[in-house]
Structure 1
Amino acid sequence: MMLQRAEGEMVTASMPGTANRPGIRSTSTRQPGIDGSASRCRVGEVRQQRRGFPRRRDLEQTATDVIVIGSGATGATIAYVLAHNGIRVTCIDLDARGAGVTASAFGWICTTHNRIGSELHREAIADFRALDANLGGALSISWAGSLTWFQAPEHTESYLRRQQGLGLPTEAVDAEDFGRLEPSLRRRPEIAAYAPQEGAVAPGRMRRTLLAAARDNGVRLVEAPVSEIAVGIDGRAQVFSDAGVFNARYVVLANELGAPRLAAQVGTVLEVESSPAIRYTFRATAPLSRRVLSGPDYEIRPWHRGTYLGAADYVTSEGPHRPVIRVHRALDAIRRDFGVRNPLQLLDFRVGYRPMPTAGRPYLGALRTAPQVLVACMHAGITLAPAAARRVLHHITGTAELASI
């Protein structure tokens, strides 16, 4: 549901059954700041002894309740949801154009791909639908579902049992049912896992839409590198950047692979690995998949006007030319399975680096060493962003507590 904003007021309308979902609020006027402070405050004479701040400066900043570091899909979603619910937000990012993890994301809104069962994953689809409804469908999500299968049928059966045991809507389909769902695929597995509720979104469009909506709700977007975070003697969080020093009640680390460095500055070690992945686009002269297909040789989905998006894992130790080799092997497998005679036209490929918490579960919570600092470092960030944003909102407004990290 789109917003109308005039003279600092926010007008919203709640939707039945979505009071606890992202972006939904029960009142129709803008709430005051969570600390009750005035709309502007003086940050006074701050002795800036950190790198890049060798002298005293008088800084006057717009009063902020929450600073979100990172404007990728996760950061943009959190910033929008908080601002839409009357919280004053400043969002800081090194590159406001979005050249980070989101730029190379596949955009599969899934539970099946995570291989992990958690309450956050189980809530992901409902939260995504609620967020998109609140934006009037502006995210243009395709809710066509997905099909997943492995080389060995028994591995697919094991996967199915695991997903169903976690309460994730997944159905077993045989080759005949698969053909009805995907008639263009000639070479079909004898069993596959069908997740009818899953979808796909264009990650770049998602980010741009959410940032635009966030700005409409008063979010201040600052493009600058962040050098340090700290907690002041008044208990407020401080963010030191090339654009100045910002103070707030809370800081949310949504800058993915940059989160461990900043968390370490306030005494918490986050164990996050950088996991590379390939994303590529290609064109086919005949229609291919209708939905996300995740098989042993490729992972593809429809993109734009006869083009398709593909994804593949990649290990950097395999060598610098390995991404190209993997992409062409995937294209050969696609031609084989779909019976395509003409070569597939490779349009683009890129390697992105995903944040992968080594414990296997998302980092979403407040730091024990600095409760003012919240962390949202997750894989898959696209899928979990709306669910994470709702939980961050509830924590900041006192509705529910995040776990301690």
Structure 2
Amino acid sequence: MRYLRSGTGRLALAEVARYALTDSSLVSDIASARKDYGDRTAVLVETVRLRRKAAAKFADASQWLFTDEALQQATAAPVAEHRARRLAGATVHDATCSIGTELAVLRDHAAVVLGSDIDPVRVAMARHNLGPDVMLCRADALRPITRGAVVIVDPARRTGARRRFDPRSYVPPLDALLEVLADREYAVKCAPGIDFAVLAQLGFTGEIEVTSAGGSVREACLWSPGLAGGGVHRRATVLDTGEQITDADPHECAVAPAGRWIVDPDGAVVRAGLVRHYAARHGLWQLDPDIAYLSGDALPYGVRGFEVLDQVPFSERVLRQELSARDVGVLEILVRGVDVDPDTLRTRLRPRGTTALTIVITRLGTGAASRATAFLCRPSR
């Protein structure tokens, strides 16, 4: 670490950054770099490669220091920016600050920021990454060191390459965190797939905000009751469009046959259990009360939808005939409620034409009356 932060180390990083360091060139690049940097080659190459990976999450990570695990866990900049706006003007303590990615955004919005982490190496990296204007120290998130501050915690949810699905096995454990933070205002980042029933068992009564960015669900953030929106317990935030849906919104929604369009709601809406609320806002209806696909005669602004051309029973033979008749060569397959792997089905259908088509496969009805149905659609974009 001291070497990487030194003038000599920075010059070495700049030189190593000139190498391609791709999967195909990595061995030869390392061999070449080792002639100049010897045993320090590995840490130089790893730092350069991590900086390049970080470009997918941050606007400028060209001078930052990372560990691979810290980078994997780091919050993407748009998500961190959204959380910082919710905390504008507050005093904020990031109690698992790691290498400082969240603090880098918070300091532009919060009145006062403080970072701490139990790992001394990560604290040192955060000090390098953030400079002298952010207060940092080593501390255990389960032993509070501040009063009156909003506490942000991002428990580790991986062990190496393996994910921890039970929040009680996070590091630090979520149940212990919620107990320690019971009389504090807080925001705790969790995996987007966290079981809401487990949160209820742990006594959580605040707001669960599920956030998506770049078309994928990024996290579920637990906001303490004092920071939750009035009467809101679940919120879906779609950063790509700026839309927010909550369980306090109207949710009256009909179930009816497909209209002109089929809409597959954003993953944050589905994960937060707010499909009916989203439908009510946009004048849509459900194709089936237990399936997340929606339909309507007009698309919500900025939302990709699928214009229904035909509806047929789900059958590989029928679909193969339809693809041949429509000269389909580019095929997108969406599935809900039916045990079908889109990639496997696409291979078996063997589309060989020149036009594009989307097939939306879903189950309609319940019990003996249920049926697997395929909608042949033209995507809006």
TM-score, length-scaled by structure 1: 0.22
Higher relative contact order (CA 8 A, sep 6+): 1
- Point out the structure with the larger helix share: 2
Structure with greater Cα Rg: 2
TM-score by length of 2: 0.23
